[in-house]
Amino acid sequence: MNFSSDNVTGAHPKIVAALAEAAAAGPMPAYGADPLTEALTKRLCEVFEREVAVYPVATGTAANALALSALTPPWGGVLAGAEAHVEVDECGAVEAMTGARIMAVPAPDGKLTPAALAARIAPLRKGDQHQVQPAVVSITQASECGTVYAPAEIAAIAAFCRTESLHLHMDGARFANAVASLGCTPAEVTWKAGVEALSFGATKNGALAAEAVIFFDPASAENFLFRRKRAGHLFSKMRFLSAQLLAYLDDDLWLKNAAHANEAARHLALGLIDLPGVDLDHPVDGNELFVRLPLAIADRLLRAGYHFYPWGAPPADPASEAGLYRFVTAFDTDLASIDALLAAALPPAAENT
């Protein structure tokens, strides 16, 4: 079984079926003028309980970089967690598309706080022509540490943003996992809490390749069409992005998939933590676990064919007998396979006697 990431998965059969149906539906206008894209926007307005502007793209990196390009001038700063995907894993895409600078902020458990943001910008001089000017905060929901912001935590950040004239963006590559975990509405954890733009992810949670940039104030997105096209992210056969996203939303598939992945993660976490010497680095709110494992356990699992990543810097002490590892569950994780993993983690019976 493969716990290395949620992007090693295939796709959910319902989404594949929707693609196939769209493929056989005959001619449709290109570039987003098709009925599926229109339906998608309507559907997302319902999901978010307000008028929204929707721009489907194929990758999360594109969604983030393009969304942020609408929220910062080239001389702006993007405040993001030190482990944020935009900082660590996108090869400078945000800088390339915005011109702006990412300003990494310490984020214990992967979550920014008003205090941490305030400390980061304190030494900067607002309006001073010599300095990059903080322009937007980007939070990741669920975070890169597998935790989830409560609506009140986001609202507190949004209040800080208003005070400091900063925009607020949410990288929702695992947005479904967060919503499923919180049990709140999508609106409560986004615009009602002060989020202005959302990278709404589907790829990791059952789609083949589909994300949407969502602006909660459509007026703020007036030039976004040009930004997307100019970056090569406008699909000619847009129906194929929209079909994925419609199937993803249909009958709450997105939340069901995420709830399943979250449940699998919780199950795995509870099982692992029962083992001697095992510890969690962060709360397990979504579908990611960061686990300190005795090397003997890690070794047994790897030899048994389980896939998962060692995480962060290797232990400073080479004699250390434990390491940090990341496990990620997904919409298609077999719960039974987790029990098998937990069994495989145990020392062989012979050693027990």
> Among residue numbers 300 through 319, which ones bind its own copies (CB under 8 A)?
307, 312-313
- CB proximity list for 207: less than 8 A, separation 6 or greater: 11, 12, 15, 244, 245, 248
The residue among 65, 64, 117 whose CA lies nearest residue 95 is 65
Q: Of 145 and 241, which has the nearer Cβ to its own copies?
A: 241
Q: Of 312 and 347, which has the nearer Cβ to its own copies?
A: 312
CB of 97 to its own copies, least distance (A): 7
Q: Is 334 in the site for its own copies (CB under 8 A)?
A: no
- The answer to whether residues 265 and 146 touch, using CB atoms and an 8 Å cutoff, is yes
- When binding is defined by CB under 8 A, the residue of 7, 163, 165, 320 that contacts its own copies is 7
Q: Is 342 in the site for its own copies (CB under 8 A)?
A: no
In the region spanning residues 217 to 246, those forming contacts with its own copies, defined by CB under 8 A, are: 223, 225-237, 239-241
Q: Of 93 and 245, which has the nearer Cβ to its own copies?
A: 93
- CB proximity list for 95: less than 8 A, separation 6 or greater: 101, 102
Show the tokens assigned to 319.
């004699």
Q: Positive or negative, the Cα torsion across 46, 48, 49, 51?
A: negative
In the region spanning residues 60 to 79, those forming contacts with its own copies, defined by CB under 8 A, are: 60-66, 73-75
Q: Is 97 in the site for its own copies (CB under 8 A)?
A: yes
- When binding is defined by CB under 8 A, the residue of 18, 22, 148, 255 that contacts its own copies is 22
- The answer to whether residues 11 and 207 touch, using CB atoms and an 8 Å cutoff, is yes
Q: Of 10 and 277, which has the nearer Cβ to its own copies?
A: 10
The residue ranges of DSSP E strands in 15-87, in sequence order, are 53-57, 76-81
- The answer to whether residues 182 and 325 touch, using CB atoms and an 8 Å cutoff, is no
- Judging by DSSP bridges, how do beta strands 76-81 and 53-57 pair with one another? unpaired
Q: Is 58 in the site for its own copies (CB under 8 A)?
A: yes
Q: Is 123 in the site for its own copies (CB under 8 A)?
A: yes
What x/- string results for residues 23 through 42 when contact with its own copies is judged by CB under 8 A?
xxxxxxxxx-----------
Instruction: Give the Cα separation of 136 and 67 in Å (integer).
Output: 11
Q: Of 36 and 322, which has the nearer Cβ to its own copies?
A: 36
Q: Is 95 in the site for its own copies (CB under 8 A)?
A: yes
Size of the site for its own copies (CB under 8 A): 82
